Structure 1
Amino acid sequence: MDNHYYLAFDVGGLFINGAVLNSRGEIIPNTESYFPSKSNADREELLNHFVHIICRQIAKILDKYFTIDGIGFAFPGPFDYQKGVSFISGVNKFESLYGVDLRTELTLRLKQQKLFLQHASTPFRIVFENNADMFALGEWTTVKAKDYDRVIFLTLGNGTGSAFMENGVIIKNREDIPTNGWVYCHPFHDSIVDDYLSTRGILRIAQHLNVNPSLSLKEIADAARSGLKDEKEVFLRFGDLLGEMLLLFIKPFQPDALVIGGQIVKCHDLFMGEVQRALENEQVTILLSDQTSYRTFVGLSKAMNP
């Protein structure tokens, strides 16, 4: 089985991170790759882009004889993961894939690729899973989260991903958690959580504070660290909102730990103080993850090769 491999992709609104995994779920050295997501492209361009990056990853495998047993995509919701159909809409990413049977469409295109046909196993699997669920599964498998019975996992980036876990099992439908374990669509202030606790949420706060609207998240963070008052205030307000949102779900679920990952965690020094103050009366341990995609790959490997 040493020459049997899986391809894993963590799909975000800005970037798609990819890796090749062996049959033991280990990442093959020098196969981690970063691709633009092209999430605003039309349907055909996006489907062809996925096929292109799949073939790029297959080409990274150096074994003379090898087999690809499956491809796993960790995709944001809403998404019918069993059928492989995206229902993402209204969040300025992957709109053109709404209602598309991605498994069928990708399989048809891959079968036209010589490199794929040379190495694909029979039968061949394309698996779709929720990215926050895979992050949770990977964190539970590999790090400190396993020390806790009840955990909320959160990914902060282009959107707000979430998963609720009890004793290593992801909970989807129960009275003490939101439907599907998804907080992103929960009503919050004058909209939903996703509009506030995401990159665009931070940029919206920045706009309200008259911070240069052309700055990126990283540039605003760098300015805040240099001591600029308005830029610092952007993250303080974000931390207040994050703490407020978390209390909505911590109160009913009563987790032992909260694990936060995603791109925005790179700015944790600017907002986590406010979060900790908001949660100071809650008996919950806060853990930060700086390896979101890696943990997601680990989770995907288990979904593809249980």
Structure 2
Amino acid sequence: MNRYTIVFEVGGTEIKSSIVSESGNVVEKTVRNYPAYSNQSRNFLLDYLYELIRKQAATLSGRTDEITGIGYVFPGPCDHERGVSYIPTQQKYGALSGISITDAMKARLNADLRLLPRMAANYRIFFDQDATWPSLKPRELMQVGV
């Protein structure tokens, strides 16, 4: 079985994403940049973040591919343990301030009968600080949030 983590670096103008294999290699065909839409409403942003998970998962085509984690580097103040952003409401992603993005993504995953079977039984959604993410090596990306 091939195991992967989908990672997102959430920025104010774009969201960078890739998939990292269990061996720590970035799957080159999955490297993507998406527009951020950071000034949109809460519901729009949560739906969009979930749609990006689905888009990235669709780039894995193997029947034995399993997604073990989804990792976010999120800008601004954040409770990394709970996946809660505390960006002031007048700034980019301010509409997400005070809610658990982790819980919102898990709720969407649990309702998605197409994607949920591709998730590991013990999959994790985790957050890290934007200041540390760019310096991590691919192998370390699999360990963020452990």
* Equivalent-residue separation in structure 1 for 2:114 and 2:10 (angstroms): 23
Question: Which segments of 5 or more consecutive residues in structure 1 lack a partner in the other structure?
Answer: 142-296
Could you say if the C-alpha distance between residues 14 and 135 of structure 1 is closer, same or farther in structure 2, counting changes exceeding 3 Å? same
1:5 alignment counterpart = 4
CA offset at residue 62 of structure 1?
2.0
| Residue correspondence of structure 1 range 116-131 to structure 2 within 5 A | 116-131=115-130
Larger Rg: 1
2:19 alignment counterpart = 20
Structure 1 ranges of 4+ moved more than 6 A: none
**Cα distance per residue 1:117-157 (max 9 Å; x no partner):** 12011111000111111223x1xx5xxxxxxxxxxxxxxxx
Could you say if the C-alpha distance between residues 11 and 299 of structure 1 is closer, same or farther in structure 2, counting changes exceeding 3 Å? farther
1:19 is paired with a residue whose SS is strand
Are positions 1:67 and 2:59 aligned together?
Answer: no
Alignment RMSD? 1.7
2:82 alignment counterpart = 83
Contact 2:89 2:97 in 1 (8 A): no
Hey, which of these two has a bigger chunk of helix by percent?
1
1:112 alignment counterpart = 111
Could you say if the C-alpha distance between residues 116 and 84 of structure 1 is closer, same or farther in structure 2, counting changes exceeding 3 Å? same
Aligned length: 146
RCO greater where, 1 or 2, for CA within 8 Å and sep 6 or more? 2
**Cα distance per residue 1:38-88 (max 9 Å; x no partner):** 110100000000110000000000212211000000111211111111001
Contact 2:20 2:141 in 1 (8 A): no
2:142 is paired with a residue whose SS is helix
CA offset at residue 30 of structure 1?
0.7
* Equivalent-residue separation in structure 1 for 2:90 and 2:29 (angstroms): 33
1:273 alignment counterpart = none
Could you say if the C-alpha distance between residues 28 and 49 of structure 1 is closer, same or farther in structure 2, counting changes exceeding 3 Å? same
CA offset at residue 107 of structure 1?
0.5
* Equivalent-residue separation in structure 2 for 1:8 and 1:85 (angstroms): 17
Are positions 1:301 and 2:142 aligned together?
Answer: yes
TM-score if structure 1 supplies the norm length?
0.45
**Among the aligned pairs, what percent are the same residue?**
29
CA offset at residue 110 of structure 1?
1.6
| Residue correspondence of structure 1 range 238-277 to structure 2 within 5 A | none
TM-score if structure 2 supplies the norm length?
0.92
Contact 1:134 1:298 in 2 (8 A): no
Contact 2:8 2:72 in 1 (8 A): yes
